[in-house]
Structure 1
Amino acid sequence: MRTTFFHKTKSSKIFKNQILAWAQKFDDVVWLDSNNYEQNHSNYDAVLAVDAFTCIQTDFFNGFEKLKEYQTTVNDWIFGYLTYDLKNDVEVISSNNFDGLEFPDLYFFQPKKLFLFKDNQVEIQYLKGVEDNWEDDLKAIQNKNKCDLESFDCTQDEFRRKVSNNIKIKLRIHKDEYFEKINNMLAHIHRGDIYEANFCQEFYAEETVINPLETYNKLNAISNPPFAVFLKCNDKYLLSASPERYLKKDGGTIISQPIKGTAKRSNNFEEDNLLKSDLLKDEKERSENIMIVDLVRNDLSKTAIKGSVKVEELCKIYTFDQVHQMISTVTSKIEKTTHPVDVIKSTFPMGSMTGAPKISAMKIIEDLEETKRGLYSGAVGYFSPIGDFDFNVVIRSILYNETKKYVSYSVGGAITSKSNPLQEYEECLVKAKAMRTVLEH
């Protein structure tokens, strides 16, 4: 179905900038960038999929079955997203909270044009019928001039001068109300209804116009995360600086890497190392992480070959530009007959964004949060023709509905019996820093 070409770049960084600028003319765009972050379980440095040949767009009702049928029928590369509200397809739960963004619950497309980056080589895969255009497209990409790219190769100060959105951000939940809701959640924990739950709050702006590409470039330059995403679905955009992998399938191996535990960075080397060390030893953060590891182990066991679920890394500290994070890696093995969509359905939504026990936590979250999560705390990624997949967790992200002129970002944190409402609030502000910087300055 696809014709493959190869292109050697003189500078992969420049070519990546050029190709993302070129991609803006398409209605369907998924750009995945690891930002050269050293990590295990990585196949590509970056991937671009554009120009839908076929697609599926649906609400949550029978969403996973529809995706399963689409993925099986197409039997090709497909790219797209799963919103958090697909939980309503997995469990008897509803979402009645306010939704200012209005993303469809599930969207995937089969791209006519696909670019896979590894070191200085780009593998170009075009569907039959459009393959004759690849050389013209390559010339158009390389001809992207300085004007198109002026926001790429800049310092953070230069970004602030060039991309000054100057947007006034509003809080969906104000500080006193946040404390009240956290105390309500703590009451559930002390009663034994749940052990842990991830509580999220929205920051938003109405009647606002942004340049999605420039805003993404600025956010990415500040954070340099391993699971960055620029997604365009007609008039809706996701600009994501996610540090977290949700789930990956590599042959018969399934990999989950939940994040629980966050500490701020310091410009002082000794202080930064101390913050990192304190995070590693923090009992509350470790207990949060270990609870979610147990949840992930249970989720993976639903499709795993008996005895194959293993914890490869427990509470390991990873350092990013904005924060230190505590990450665990859990793996399992599956039979060849297990459908890839069934693996996702049996683990969705991801434990790091829900809580334990998962169903009780989701119900309490739905009751206490003010906003429908939508794509926030969902996942973006792809399926390959052989049924492998890789998905991130949509956090540290800006969402934009261009038609409604509505901009939103949400942040959250895990609440346990040891949580202090003020400290939880301050952790949310640390997580929100990059998005706020991008939008307000």
Structure 2
Amino acid sequence: MAQAKPHVLLVDSYCSFAYNLAALIKKAIPGSVLHVIKNDTHAIQDLLPVLSQFSAIVIGPGPGSPDIPSDIGVVCDLWKVAEKDMVPMFGVCLGQQSLGVEHGATIHRLDTVKHGQVSVVKHTGTEIFEGLSDIKVVRYHSLYIRTKAGSEIEELAWSEDEENGKIVMGVRHLSKPFWAVQYHPESVLTDEGGLKVFQNFWKLAQEWSQRHRPSFTPKFELELPGSHIWPRVSGRYSSHAFNKSLGKVTYTAVDVPNLAILDVAELLGAHDDSKRFVFLDSAAHPGQFSILGCLDDSSPQFTHFVHENSIEVTTGATKQRHELTDKDFWTWLDEYREARKVTGGDSTIPFWGGFAGYLTYEAGFGTLGVSVPRQSGHSETNHPDVNFVWVDRSIVVDVLNSKVWVQSLLENDGEWVQEMVQKVAALPNAPTHASSTVSIKSDVPATVKFPDEAQYINDVNRCKEYLFSGNSYELCLTGLTHITVPKESKLSTWDRYKLLRDVNAAPHAGYLRLQPTTFLSSSPERFLSYSRSPGAVCELRPIKGTVRKLPHITREIATQMLAGSRKEIAENLMIVDLIRHDLHNAVGANVDVSKFCGVEEYKTVWQLVSVIEGSLPEGTPVEVDDSLGWEVLRRSLPPGSMTGAPKKRSVELLQQLEGFERGPYSGVFGYWCAGGGGDWSVTIRSVFLHDSKKNGDEEWVVGAGGAITALSDPEAELEETNVKLNGVLNGFGASA
């Protein structure tokens, strides 16, 4: 006879590490069924009818303070339930603070904030710390509790900070089955203080249940309305029929020695500003494949504004508006690609055709539950939040090996493929000007309006106050710089891109001309790439930590400055933990950090880079696996490296601080292949032009900023922002 599995409740206080905690719980309590709720979705009256049916409850971390009702929600009531409803509970970070405050402890601010910091924790060796020696743990907190003599809370663990003195790191309730830790057991850099402590908690929970509720047995089914079971797969995939008769890719691959990729772009019309164009450009190491869309009037373009409930599809002179009455734009685009899915392309290249374009920073707000304060009907001067074109014909160039693939998703299109192969193969022997130097017209130089420096420094200090008060661990503060190019000095946008490419070549660059947006990027940062199914693997590569390349800055010195910096490691660690959470939310348990804080070299900077990978379990239905990357993208935006953590609270705080929409900046651009793979870059070191700003003087916009932590120096943050700006401004003959 099958045995019922233990049911565990995880209460999430809007933390961006909650699903890391979920993975740890499932590992510590094998076979358990994990129910997840937010701390404000259920009143205690909603939970009491089912509470005693759980085997354990875990109170997760989150932003804010335990003495602010909107921050803590139902958690404060869970610590005070009657004995008949009592369940063993374990609190993490905010969870420990709440347990303490509800039972006589007081809450205080640390003198020196600990966000993304590793500390040694000493303990009594009893209860949840049984069998452990001193442990190394990761801390994300600015608040802590002080227990009182004679209170019901007993200290089990502590750190001895040079700056803060003795800080409580673990506690238990003297008479109730409640335990908690201040540190984060789920962090990638926490050692045995993670899994072993949870295993000890589960042992103690079972022993308590045997003594105090001997007749308790887990139910086979436990229904808690408004919760979800982790891991979960989006229900979207079962809502549409899957394409069983796949189309075929027609392609020819040829070797073209000494091929100039810019010549290929101009062959396809890059120089004609009136036409749409897509160029995803691996312009520097470690990039390898560059992608060019061969667009014509029949190539459909998809635009969507997040404050509107429709998608507009433009084909030639025809525009069709599709209402999103019963689905979001993610589902609509997923179904569109599914109906046009193909097979038969060369598996060694990443793109066969499909969607290419960009998503704005604000395009990710819906998944977070954050609103975009726009009025309907005022979007004509905004960049669309979703701006894609469907690419049926394309050219992929292996820039390292001078190999070219000409390919088409259209039926009976072999003649076009062969004609284009001949044109590309003839390029090295044809007269060319694409690679020649473009000069800046300097009769009337561009003018640059920078963000106000005093205001930026003031905003850095405001960010730090939010960090000290417990509202965030890291805030990625940004500003927008406006570049005005007088009509006498205007270049074609293609020539402008070539200038930018020349002064700041990057591995994840791009030139997108998708009306009403012209988009030039020299991004060094890949956000998300995913392989084709079966067995799709998602990889994210956050960059946090930047040093300008100068003659005396060798790799050894850069490594010392970045990997040897407590501040830089803390920034990167927070984003790694956030991304692990986003991946765990989409794929379940199979998440791995394959590189942590490696130093990588780019044309103008050294960067601190980590690599996180995730995949679905073996045996996952192919229709789910095929759309995995799209689902990970949906659940991961905006990029954590551009928000901070916890993500939702950080985004809300940044909205207030910055006072503007970021638009394409801080979003992503790239492609989703009709064969299933995809690659998206973070939109940084990028500049944008709206069609409405093309007549007369041009007005380009470029964003830049940095991650503000408790260790940030405002002047140094301003300098780092200028370093990032210069890579783009040099393409306009300007500098910060």
- The answer, yes or no, to whether TM exceeds 0.5 is yes
2:575: which partner in 1?
Answer: 292
Correspondence list, 1:314-325, <5 A: 314-325=596-607
TM-superposition CA deviations, 1:283-319 (whole Å, max 9, x none): 101100000000000000012242x211011010111
From 116, 119, 123, the equivalent of 2:405 is 123
TM-superposition CA deviations, 1:35-78 (whole Å, max 9, x none): 35136xxxx52111131533322122533222222222332522
From 553, 558, 563, the equivalent of 1:280 is 563
Does residue 27 of structure 1 match 2:306? Answer: no
TM-superposition CA deviations, 1:127-165 (whole Å, max 9, x none): 23654334554565556965642xx244xxxx5567888
Q: Secondary structure at the match of 1:285?
A: helix
C-alpha contact (below 8 Å) 2:687/2:701 kept by paired residues: yes
Q: 2:595 & 2:283 partners in 1: Cα distance?
A: 22
1:348: which partner in 2?
Answer: 637
1:377: which partner in 2?
Answer: 666
Does the C-alpha gap of structure 1 residues 185 and 73 become closer, same or farther in structure 2, counting only changes over 3 Å? same
C-alpha contact (below 8 Å) 2:520/2:688 kept by paired residues: yes
C-alpha contact (below 8 Å) 2:440/2:732 kept by paired residues: no
2:512: which partner in 1?
Answer: 231
Q: Secondary structure at the match of 2:557?
A: helix
- The amino acid across from 1:79 in the alignment is A
**Larger Cα-atom Rg:** 2
2:709: which partner in 1?
Answer: 416
Q: 1:197 & 1:133 partners in 2: Cα distance?
A: 50
How much has 1:28 moved relative to structure 2? 3.0
From 46, 56, 69, the equivalent of 2:335 is 69
Which consecutive residues of structure 2, in runs of 5 or more, have no partner in the other structure? 1-246, 310-327, 343-353
Identity of aligned residues (%): 24
Correspondence list, 1:84-163, <5 A: 84-96=361-373, 102-118=382-398, 119-126=401-408, 127-128=410-411, 131-138=414-421, 142=426, 148-149=433-434, 152-154=435-437, 159-160=438-439
C-alpha contact (below 8 Å) 1:56/1:67 kept by paired residues: no
From 292, 304, 310, the equivalent of 1:58 is 304
Q: Secondary structure at the match of 2:563?
A: helix
From 610, 613, 634, the equivalent of 1:328 is 610
- Normalised to the residue count of structure 2, the TM-score between the two structures is 0.55
Does the C-alpha gap of structure 1 residues 400 and 130 become closer, same or farther in structure 2, counting only changes over 3 Å? farther
Q: 1:188 & 1:354 partners in 2: Cα distance?
A: 14
1:222: which partner in 2?
Answer: 503
Does residue 5 of structure 1 match 2:294? Answer: no
Name which structure has the greater RCO, CA cutoff 8 Å, separation 6+.
1
C-alpha contact (below 8 Å) 2:504/2:728 kept by paired residues: no
Higher helix proportion (structure 1 or 2): 1
- Normalised to the residue count of structure 1, the TM-score between the two structures is 0.89
- The amino acid across from 1:244 in the alignment is E
Q: 2:584 & 2:645 partners in 1: Cα distance?
A: 16
TM-superposition CA deviations, 1:375-427 (whole Å, max 9, x none): 11111111122311111111001111244132111101001111111110000
Q: 2:443 & 2:594 partners in 1: Cα distance?
A: 43
C-alpha contact (below 8 Å) 1:49/1:113 kept by paired residues: yes
- The amino acid across from 2:602 in the alignment is F
From 155, 169, 192, the equivalent of 2:448 is 169
How much has 1:109 moved relative to structure 2? 1.9
Q: Secondary structure at the match of 1:429?
A: helix
Does residue 246 of structure 1 match 2:493? Answer: no
1:204: which partner in 2?
Answer: 482
Does the C-alpha gap of structure 1 residues 261 and 387 become closer, same or farther in structure 2, counting only changes over 3 Å? same
2:70: which partner in 1?
Answer: none
How much has 1:200 moved relative to structure 2? 0.8
Q: 1:169 & 1:258 partners in 2: Cα distance?
A: 29
TM-superposition CA deviations, 1:303-361 (whole Å, max 9, x none): 2242x211011010111111110000000112442423222111111110111000000
Does residue 186 of structure 1 match 2:186? Answer: no
1:259: which partner in 2?
Answer: 543
Q: Secondary structure at the match of 1:303?
A: helix
How much has 1:6 moved relative to structure 2? 2.5
From 591, 600, 605, the equivalent of 1:309 is 591
Which consecutive residues of structure 1, in runs of 5 or more, have no partner in the other structure? none
C-alpha contact (below 8 Å) 2:537/2:613 kept by paired residues: yes
Does the C-alpha gap of structure 1 residues 206 and 283 become closer, same or farther in structure 2, counting only changes over 3 Å? same
Q: Secondary structure at the match of 2:300?
A: strand
How much has 1:176 moved relative to structure 2? 0.7
From 661, 681, 684, the equivalent of 1:392 is 681
Q: 1:417 & 1:355 partners in 2: Cα distance?
A: 12
Does residue 46 of structure 1 match 2:290? Answer: yes
- The amino acid across from 1:84 in the alignment is Y
TM-superposition CA deviations, 1:71-109 (whole Å, max 9, x none): 223325221211111123213323348999621111222
Q: 2:444 & 2:432 partners in 1: Cα distance?
A: 19
Does the C-alpha gap of structure 1 residues 37 and 65 become closer, same or farther in structure 2, counting only changes over 3 Å? same
Does the C-alpha gap of structure 1 residues 78 and 181 become closer, same or farther in structure 2, counting only changes over 3 Å? same
Does the C-alpha gap of structure 1 residues 161 and 380 become closer, same or farther in structure 2, counting only changes over 3 Å? closer
Q: 2:527 & 2:562 partners in 1: Cα distance?
A: 22
